[in-house]
Amino acid sequence: MLRQILQCLVLVALFVGNVQGQDKQPQFAALFDSLKNFNGSVLISHQGKLLFQKAYGIADQSTNRQLTTESVFELASVSKAFTGIGIMQLKEKGLLSYDDSLRKFFPELPYAGVSVRHLLANTSGIPDFLGWTEEEINVNAKNTNAAILGILPKKFAAVAFAPGLRFLYSNTNYVLLASIIEKVSGLSYAEYMRKHIFLPCGMSNTVVSPRYADKLPKDYAFDYAWDGSENRFLPADSLKRYIHYLSGVTGAFGVISNTADLYKWCRALNTNLLVSEATKKEALSPVKLASSGETAGLYPGLPYVFGWQLLEDPPVSGDMFSSGNYGGYRSLVVNKVSQDQIVIILCNMGETSDVISLMNSVEEIFEGAPVSPPDEKEMRKGIKLSSEQMRALQGTYTTKDGTFPPMKIRCIGNRLYAKFGETMEQNIFPESADTFFVTGTDGKVIFNRNNQGAVISLSLNGAGMSQTFFLNQ
């Protein structure tokens, strides 16, 4: 009798949970239907049931093709979580150890002391390649991982700090991990992902593909970014947001998928289809920094492991998320194992919507709390300046004490670009002759002049801070 009562209670709990989730379907629809500028695809599930799945907006401006729930998007850094699973699988098979040295696989690299674990946690100290320009790499080629590995020791003769000492988010780490997968498995990264992850999960619309492939996947969503000079959305490539000469690189980015396939992937991970529970538990354990004893991560309280950020520190539930931001693409995969909730948001005009703010609204609906309106960004509008006016702003700007990397400003055609240290070069758009902005941020670059009208410095303002950089003469 007691067993029957307990079984009935379990059934009631499951039924109530499912009904509660289903009751929220109209709220999810109302939330996303109310957004004026959201351009993307969303999927929300609870306890294995799809509560909401819908696509909004344009997939291809040139043909006016609309997005569908089958549309595939570039996942940007969510790709790192796939790379992380590949490493887990090889470790589970005994083909590598997290403590293996990077030089075991690539003895030509000069980074002594860097292990696979350091790469996974972004604590290797190896700087990022993503900001390389024509000074470092052939910009007329579709460079691959092999090209990156060939340039690395010439560009970075040593690590920036002792491995394990600090956290430094670097795409280079996951390019190296993808290259280790290839060396250990004997397969290309794309083939390994297809054979060992995509096929077992039933992810029929997911591929590793160069952005400039001869044949793009079916229902491909092109990405668009705001041009603050033209004051309209243009293909992101035209604004230097996605660099074509790095389109053959894999591991850090390069996976293309849709919401339905990503849902299958999360379910497979949660049910231990891809790796065992023991392997997963070991991998998803926070790493402590040698310098401070704090947890390695992008933000306090959000440990970074294997391409995921954990929602707890120390982790108890296994709740985690992975996000990506590249060109016009924004991707967010939230896997709340403790509540059996999966939320996937993919955008291809990402500057119009803050996916984190959207996720906060989704959580409020799940919790039955009042729903805060998500941020819908107004695009900042600029003016046109002549090339002569912008060329007068060119140069390398540095701080007096050298505490910040240099800021390089250059004009190409009728556009001005800013490059901060080793970061990617960014378009900056004029709102006056001396004040420029970066879309998607509240930041400003203000050029300062002397009494004769010559530029002598710039001020970088944003997030309540200001820093002055002086023009090198």
Q: Which two tokens stand for residue 407?
A: 């800021």
* Confidence label for 112 from pLDDT (cuts 50, 70 and 90): very high
Q: What are phi and psi of 458, to 5 degrees?
A: -135, 150
Q: Tell me if 51 sits within 8 A of 24, measured CB to CB.
A: yes
Q: What mean pLDDT is predicted for residues 170-186?
A: 98
Q: With contact defined as beta carbons under 8 Å apart, do 459 and 448 qualify? A: yes
DSSP 352: G
Residues 261-311: pLDDT tens digits?
999 999 999 999 999 999 999 999 999 999 999 999 999 999 999 999 999
Tens-place pLDDT, residues 45-100: 999 999 999 999 999 999 999 999 999 999 999 999 999 999 999 999 999 999 99
Residues facing residue 333 across a β-bridge: 322, 344
Q: Is the per-residue pLDDT at 173 higher than 60?
A: yes
Q: Which residues does residue 219 pair with via DSSP β-bridges, in sequence order?
A: none
Same domain for 392 and 358, yes or no, is no
Looking at the structure, tell me whether residues 458 and 341 fall in a common domain.
Answer: no
Burial group, residue 138, by CB count within 10 angstroms (0-12, 13-18, 19+)? exposed
Closest CA to 239 of 116, 417, 94: 417
Residue 2 pLDDT greater than 50, yes or no: no
User: Do residues 39 and 348 make contact, with C-beta atoms less than 8 angstroms apart?
Assistant: yes
Residue with tokens 């440990």: 303
Specify if 11 maps to a domain. Answer: no
Token digits for 278?
């023991």
- Please check whether residues 361 and 441 belong to one and the same domain: no
* pLDDT (average), residues 324-353: 95
Please state, in angstroms and rounded to a whole number, the distance separating the CA atoms of residues 450 and 430: 20
Please indicate, yes or no, whether residues 408 and 295 belong to a single structural domain of this protein.
no
Domain-located, residue 34: no
Q: What percent of the chain has pLDDT over 90?
A: 77
Which of 216-220, 450-454, 456-460 shows the lowest per-residue confidence on average (mean pLDDT)? Answer: 216-220
Which residues constitute the domain of residue 347? 59-64+69-367
* Predicted pLDDT of residue 4: 36
Does the pLDDT value for residue 15 go beyond 90? no
Phi, psi at residue 76, to the nearest 5°? 55, -130
Question: Do the domain assignments include residue 359?
Answer: yes
Q: Is there a single domain that holds both residue 209 and residue 82? A: yes
The answer to whether residue 2 sits within a structural domain is: no
Number of domains observed in the structure of the chain: 2
Is a pLDDT exceeding 50 seen at residue 3?
A: no
Can you give the pLDDT at residue 438? 87
Are residue 395 and residue 333 in the same domain, yes or no? no
According to DSSP, the β-strands at 224-227 and 320-326 are unpaired
Phi, psi of 268, deg, nearest 5: -65, -40
CATH at residue 158:
3.40.710.10
Instruction: Kindly state whether residues 321 and 399 are assigned to the same domain.
Output: no
Percent of the chain with pLDDT over 70: 94
- Residues forming beta bridges with residue 396, ordered by sequence position: 408
Q: Is residue 10 part of a domain?
A: no
Indicate if the alpha-carbon torsion angle 289, 290, 294, 300 is positive or negative. negative
Under the banding of pLDDT at 50, 70 and 90, the label for residue 413 is confident
13 or 341, which is more confident? 341
Residue 152 tokens read as: 């690395």
pLDDT of residue 464: 81
The mean pLDDT value for 444-464 works out to 94
pLDDT of residue 342: 98
Q: Structure pTM?
A: 0.91
Residue 432: pLDDT above 50?
Answer: yes
Domain end point (choices 367, 402, 429): 367
